[in-house]
Structure 1
Amino acid sequence: MAIIVALAIFFLLAQVFFLEKRKSVMKNKYLKGVSANVLLLGVVSFLNDLSSEMIMPILPMFITALGGVWVVGLVGGLRDSISSILKVFSGFWSDRTGKRKVFVSSGYLTSAIFKLFLAFSQVWLHVLLFSSAERVGKGLRTAPRDAIIADSMPEARGKGFGIHRALDTSGAIAGSVIVLLLLLFFWFDLEQKAYQIGFYKSIIFIAAIIAFFSLVPLHFVKEGKREPQEIRLQISLKKLPKQLKLFIVVATLFALANFTYMFFILKAMDAFMPIMPVKESIALAILLYVLFNTFYALLAIPFGTLSDRIGRREVLIFGYFLFSVTCLGFAFFDSLAAFIVLFPLYGVVYAMIDGNQRAFVSDLSTEDLRATALGSFHTVIGLVALPASLTAGILWQTISPNATFIYGSVISFIAVVLFLIFRDYFKD
């Protein structure tokens, strides 16, 4: 574990050296056509997501070890909902004060602090509390950070968001791989519950330390001067353009289908448990999750660039449809061969929709309300994350795991149909 911390410190120092050697480039704002702010925020997200994804693959098992199996779905939905409730407020205050970076910095610091608290959880309720509180930081930072990205590359927002999401997801891959290696090489006795809990806490503690490192590259982000805006909080979305409001309706319907990815991991684990030991089942499920994140990272930039060329609508429509197909696959197939295909498809879906939804919101909003628009979008989408995951969990327990994925497939397909009906109403 000391090796992991050493590697993180080495990466951090290397990054600082990289920045110091290129101060002239930073002043010019662009490096080979890519905004320095986008690259820096990408590095911040890389480190932060490395930290987060050391935690998320083991979080369902950590909750289970503490005796709260039924809370897995609740944690997944509540985390996103809490963060999203705050996004509209942070976006609003960012626009109103003309400040972006202070909200971004506060958000990353808050997340790091509560990750550290999470490492000292004693019961599943602590996990629920600290894990949800950690998402407060995400709520503070996301809309202002996305506004910085959108403003830094106004002529190529799809590419900018794609680069950021690729670095973010690359951190997720690194974090998941680290957990997998620790599981394979340091977990000697899976049957001892006390050892399991101690192992999980050690991983979370290391992840928290790495999260604090992510604050250093953020220091080099250059925020442009912005005048404060005399605006009021627009929770009703009334001042947002009609096209944007309609897209939020479509995206919200899709979000109802897009339940927490923990269910995808649990589906794989349930399939493997009857045919192999527990340790190998967990390791293989995490490996498939790494495969998901790998495809997500590899394709985020290409799909962002593609949306700049052919339009966000076409990419998003196909992404929604592919999610529907992927859910059907998870509903009706549970072999290792099937999962080797389905988890990459799941990664392709996220590569197509995650950054491009944000870019599309930026396209459909005005500059003075961009952070508010992004915050409103994230909030509305996030508010349905809790009912989406709770519904998925109820279907899982009362009917079958397959019912969960059929639900996701049907709802996302309805979103595709609605998007197609109003396709010509949107303009890129």
Structure 2
Amino acid sequence: MTDAPEGEERKRNIYLLGLVSLLNDASSEIIQPILPLFLASLGAGGLAIGLIGGLAEGLPSLIKILSGWWSDRLRRRKPLVAAGYAISAAGKLLLAFSSSWQQVFVLKTMERSGKGIRSAPRDAIIAESALREGRGRGFGVHRALDSLGAVAGSIIAFLLWQEGLDFKSIFLGAGLLAFVALIPLVPVKEIPRYPAGCLSPGISDLSPTLVPFVGIASLFALGNFSYMFFILRSGEFFTSDMAVAAPLLLYILFNLVYTTFSIPSGSWSDRVGRKRVLSIGYALFALVSFGFALVSSTMVLVLLFALYGLVFAIVDGAERAFVSDLCRAEARGTGLGVYYGAVGTAAIASGLLAGALWQYLSPEATFLFGAAAALSASILLMRMKNPALIS
């Protein structure tokens, strides 16, 4: 008699967490497309932007290992999710008061540290709120709502910039919106799925396939450098007022495509398998990155940004669903934390390598490096043995 209400509660969890992500990502994406332009105005070069894009994104990912394991030990995930969102909101709000790229680096690291605390426990709740055969769609729904917030945030950033607001005023509004995003988290319910007698999660509860897959995902992350380089690349095609407006519009296009295809891509991975879908996604990113290295017209640039959004729609949710498939319920937070930590470490190296290539060789060298890493990851994933899924 309780199956239907329980099923509705689980479905509601996914949508509530999606709404939290929608509002939080709207806040983030008000900042994201103008952040590289703000950094450039503070005198940051390619290497500094690479440092911020890599270290500030990657270092907090190491926190995800601890937060995922901790949520398994506590058998409670929601408190860590709430703490992570609150820390991120504070970091965004304080960006409005920064006056140097070094301060931006510290605050961006703080903001992303909040993401490090919340991501693995939140994704574990999503995985536990969906059956395995519908897990790809569940993550797709969450990513779609998240990226819908990104669309809204990008549009708001564009409109605020057109109205003549300066960088710091825009950052202040974004920070306040991030605190509003905490409200839908209140009714989210824990969904315990621990077998009787399980007292402590461990590595033995993870599939042997998880390690090689995390290695391949990390190789892809090494080539999947910060979006800021794509924004900077697009800025080379425009002058005057369009030097800010056009990259913002292209970023909106990226997020629109991401939003539109997230749920279909998640459902596709449920039907045909995560491995096949991810192999295609990695290969598509290699093509996109190669295109950014050679692009010479605005029409091709528009097409590349649309394909860039499609890559994220294919890869983002499918990777998380695949990792969740390879972990027992009592160690799912730990497994997601291991994945995030490895990929985050790769992101640190990615940002520094991409920034160095950009500054000391050329922008083309940065994108060719990304294409090579992504293509290698696609080939390795296709050659990997099909895993035995745990739950």
- After TM superposition, is the score higher than 0.5? yes
Q: How far did residue 291 of structure 1 move?
A: 0.5
Does residue 251 in structure 1 map to residue 251 in structure 2? no
Q: Calculate percent identity across the aligned residue pairs.
A: 45
Q: One-letter code of the match for 1:224?
A: I
The CA deviation string for residues 221-255 of structure 1, in whole angstroms up to 9 with x for no partner, is: 011346695337x6xx5763211111111111111
Instruction: Determine the structure 1 residue equivalent to 2:364.
Output: 402
Distance 1:421 1:387 in 2: 25
Instruction: Determine the structure 2 residue equivalent to 1:8.
Output: none
Instruction: Determine the structure 2 residue equivalent to 1:165.
Output: 143
TM-score (norm 2): 0.94
Distance 2:380 2:261 in 1: 26
| Equivalent in 131, 134, 137 of residue 114 of structure 2 | 137
SS of residue matched to 1:56: helix
The CA deviation string for residues 314-370 of structure 1, in whole angstroms up to 9 with x for no partner, is: 110000000000011101113110111100100110000000000000111111111
Instruction: Determine the structure 1 residue equivalent to 2:317.
Output: 355
Does residue 271 in structure 1 map to residue 237 in structure 2? yes
Distance 1:310 1:360 in 2: 12
Does residue 425 in structure 1 map to residue 383 in structure 2? no
For 1:186-201, list aligned pairs within 5 A: 186=164, 199-201=166-168
Between 118-127 and 221-230, report the one with greater CA deviation.
221-230
For 1:305-324, list aligned pairs within 5 A: 305-324=267-286
Distance 1:180 1:427 in 2: 46
Instruction: Determine the structure 1 residue equivalent to 2:52.
Output: 75
Distance 1:401 1:121 in 2: 28
For these two proteins, the number of residue pairs brought into alignment is 384
| Equivalent in 148, 152, 159 of residue 181 of structure 1 | 159
112 and 27 in structure 1: CA distance in 2 versus 1, 3 angstrom threshold: farther
Q: How far did residue 66 of structure 1 move?
A: 1.9
Instruction: Determine the structure 1 residue equivalent to 2:64.
Output: 87
Instruction: Determine the structure 1 residue equivalent to 2:91.
Output: 114
Q: One-letter code of the match for 2:361?
A: I
Instruction: Determine the structure 1 residue equivalent to 2:105.
Output: 128
Q: One-letter code of the match for 1:265?
A: I
Q: One-letter code of the match for 1:379?
A: G
Gaps of 5+ in 1: 1-23, 188-198
Instruction: Determine the structure 2 residue equivalent to 1:50.
Output: 26
The CA deviation string for residues 37-84 of structure 1, in whole angstroms up to 9 with x for no partner, is: 000000000000000000111111111222223421111111221220
The CA deviation string for residues 100-157 of structure 1, in whole angstroms up to 9 with x for no partner, is: 1000000001111111111111222111111111111101100000000000012311
Given that 2:59 and 2:348 are in contact with CA atoms closer than 8 Å, whether structure 1 keeps it comes out as: no
Given that 1:97 and 1:229 are in contact with CA atoms closer than 8 Å, whether structure 2 keeps it comes out as: no
Distance 2:258 2:44 in 1: 30
Q: One-letter code of the match for 1:172?
A: A
| Equivalent in 18, 37, 43 of residue 61 of structure 1 | 37
Gaps of 5+ in 2: none
Given that 1:26 and 1:36 are in contact with CA atoms closer than 8 Å, whether structure 2 keeps it comes out as: no
Distance 2:170 2:50 in 1: 22
Instruction: Determine the structure 2 residue equivalent to 1:376.
Output: 338
Q: How far did residue 29 of structure 1 move?
A: 4.3
Distance 1:420 1:427 in 2: 16
Does residue 207 in structure 1 map to residue 168 in structure 2? no
Given that 1:115 and 1:207 are in contact with CA atoms closer than 8 Å, whether structure 2 keeps it comes out as: yes
SS of residue matched to 1:35: helix
SS of residue matched to 2:33: coil
Distance 1:26 1:397 in 2: 57
Does residue 35 in structure 1 map to residue 2 in structure 2? no
User: Higher relative contact order at CA 8 Å, sep ≥6: structure 1 or structure 2?
Assistant: 2
Q: Quote the RMSD (CA, aligned, Å).
A: 1.9
Does residue 280 in structure 1 map to residue 242 in structure 2? yes
Given that 1:243 and 1:364 are in contact with CA atoms closer than 8 Å, whether structure 2 keeps it comes out as: yes
Given that 1:98 and 1:226 are in contact with CA atoms closer than 8 Å, whether structure 2 keeps it comes out as: no
Distance 1:413 1:348 in 2: 16
Distance 1:412 1:136 in 2: 26
Distance 1:141 1:397 in 2: 34
Q: How far did residue 384 of structure 1 move?
A: 0.9
Q: How far did residue 86 of structure 1 move?
A: 0.5
Given that 2:128 and 2:193 are in contact with CA atoms closer than 8 Å, whether structure 1 keeps it comes out as: no
Instruction: Determine the structure 2 residue equivalent to 1:195.
Output: none
Distance 2:50 2:204 in 1: 33
Instruction: Determine the structure 1 residue equivalent to 2:302.
Output: 340
Given that 1:80 and 1:385 are in contact with CA atoms closer than 8 Å, whether structure 2 keeps it comes out as: yes
Distance 1:151 1:113 in 2: 29
Q: One-letter code of the match for 1:52?
A: S
Does residue 393 in structure 1 map to residue 355 in structure 2? yes
